[in-house]
Amino acid sequence: MAREFFGTDGIRGRANADKLTAATAMKVGQAAGKHFLRGTHKHRVVIGKDTRLSGYMMENALTAGFTSVGMDVILTGPLPTPAVALLTREMRADIGVMISASHNAFPDNGIKLFGPDGFKLSDEDEEAIEAEMQREQELAQGDAIGRARRIDDARGRYIHAVKQSLPDEYRLDGLKIVVDCAHGAAYSVAPTAIWELGAEVIAMGVAPNGLNINDGVGSTKLDAIKARVIEEGADVGIALDGDADRLIVIDEKGQAVDGDQIMALIGGRYAKLGLLKGGGLVATVMSNLGLERYLAGLGLDLVRAKVGDRYVLEKMKAGGYNVGGEQSGHMILLDHATTGDGTIAALQVLAALVRTGKPASELLHLFDPVPQLLKNVSYEDGNPLEAASVKDSIAAAESELNGSGRLVIRKSGTEPLIRVMAEGDDEAQVERLVDQICQAVEDAA
C-alpha cells in the first residue's frame, strides 16, 4: 500500500502543519496501540522526546491516543532515541515511541516507533499501523482506560547502560574531550557518562530552550565544535545530533571524521579482538568506495543496504553482523544497542584512543576516501527519475564510469529532494557527471 505518513525513519515533517499535527499523533497512538494489543496483560508504552518546543504537544497527543485504547503510558522526558529503545525492552513495554526529528531544525518534529524487542518497526508493521489510522478505533471503557506516569530514573538507567558498554578496565582518565549535544536529547546524559568514566569534559550544546536544537551545533553543524577543540587543546571532539543516534568525531586538528572512518576503526578493531561477527560489516549505498577497499584489505566484507539505519539493521540481523552504520554517523553496535547510538559508538572510539595512545588524527584516518560528490535537487510533484531524459543521463554516466566508480541516485525519504551521488578515482569526472545528472533532473522537474 502507498505510505502516506511513514518515511525511511518513522513520521517526520513540520510540527503542527501538513500531516504532523496533534490529531495525527493521537491517531498514531490509537493505531499503534491497537496493533500491539496482544494477550490479556496490561499493556504499556514508553514515550521519550528530544528538546523541541512541539514535543510537549506531541507527547500529550500520543498519550491521549494510547490511553484511549487501553495502554498505560510511561513518560521519560528528554532522552536519546537509543535510550527509549533500551527502556522499551528493559521495562517489558509493548511499544516504544521517540518524538524527534533527529538532525532537522526545531520547527520540524517526528515520531519513531519501536517494537517490544527494542528494534525499529518493519515496513509491514508500519503499513499495518497506517491502515489502522484510517479506521475508527474501538475505545477502552471504564477501568480499561490507560494511565500515564512519569519516571525519574530513565536518565540514570541509560547512563549506566552506556558505561557498561566498555569493559571495566577501560577508563578515560587523561583525555580532554569536547562533547557537543546539539541542545538536544543527550544534553544531560552524554557529558555525564563520559565524565564519570574519567575524562575531562568540555560540554557544549547543553542549554536547550525548545527553539535551539541543532542550531549552529551538533553533528551537522560542525564549525563550532571544530573551533572549540582547537581552542581548548582537546584530544578529540564528539558531535551528536538532536536525538543522539548519530556521531561525528573531530580530531585534535579540528578535522571532521565521518561514519565511514568510524566504522573502519570499530570494524577493524573488533576483527582483531575476535569480536566481529559475520565476517564484515553493513553500511549503505552512500558509504565511500574507499571503505570497501580498506575492509577488503583486511579480509572483511562490506554489505550495502538502502539508505536508512533500519535497513542497515535488517541486513545486520539477516546476516548475523554486529557492526553497521551510515556515512552520516549512525553507528549500530548490536552487542550493546538495538539502534544507532552516538554515545556508545563514541566510547568505542575513545577506548581505542586510550588503548593505542595514538592521536585521533592518526587513529581515525585509516583510508583515503575516493572522490565522492553528493548534490540535491528539489522538486514539487511527480517523480523526475521516471523521465526518459533523466534515465538516459544516468545510463550515459554509468557507461562512462565503466565499473571504475559508482552512481547512487535516489529520492529522499524525508524531504522532496532527489539525491545525486557519484564517486570514482577521477574527481573532475565525478563532478561533471553529477552536474549533468542534476541538470537533467532539474529540467524534468
Q: How far is it, in rounded angstroms, from Cα 224 to Cα 214?
A: 12
- What is the C-alpha to C-alpha distance for residues 12 and 111, in angstroms, rounded to an integer? 7
CB atoms within 10 A of CB 396: 14
Cα separation, 311 vs 270, in Å, equals 22
User: H/E element holding 12?
Assistant: strand 10-14
For residue 177 the three cell numbers come to: 574531550
Phi-psi map region of 308: left, alpha, beta (phi>0 left; psi -120 to 50 alpha): left
How many Å separate Cα 169 from the centre of its chain? 29
The angle subtended at Cα 421 by Cα 238 and Cα 106, nearest 5°, is: 45
Nearest to 115 by CA among 43, 175, 169: 43
- Map residue 287 onto helix, strand or coil: coil
The answer to whether 64 and 56 have CB atoms below 8 angstroms apart is no
Instruction: Look up residue 186 and give its amino acid.
Output: A
Do the beta carbons of residue 259 and residue 288 sit within 8 Å?
Answer: no
399 is catalytic: no
Strand 148-150 versus strand 6-7 pairing type: unpaired
Question: What whole-number distance in Å separates Cα of residue 201 and Cα of residue 289?
Answer: 35
**Rounded to an integer, what distance in angstroms lies between the CA atom of residue 204 and that of residue 178?**
7
How many angstroms separate the CA atoms of 95 and 361, rounded? Answer: 41
Query: What backbone phi and psi angles, to 5 degrees, belong to 339?
Result: -150, 180
49 — phi, psi (to 5°)? -155, 165
| 325 phi and psi angles, rounded to 5 deg | 170, -170
Separate counts of helices (H) and strands (E) for the chain: 14, 19
**Active-site hit among 54, 100, 102, 165:** 102
Give the residue numbers marked as catalytic: 102
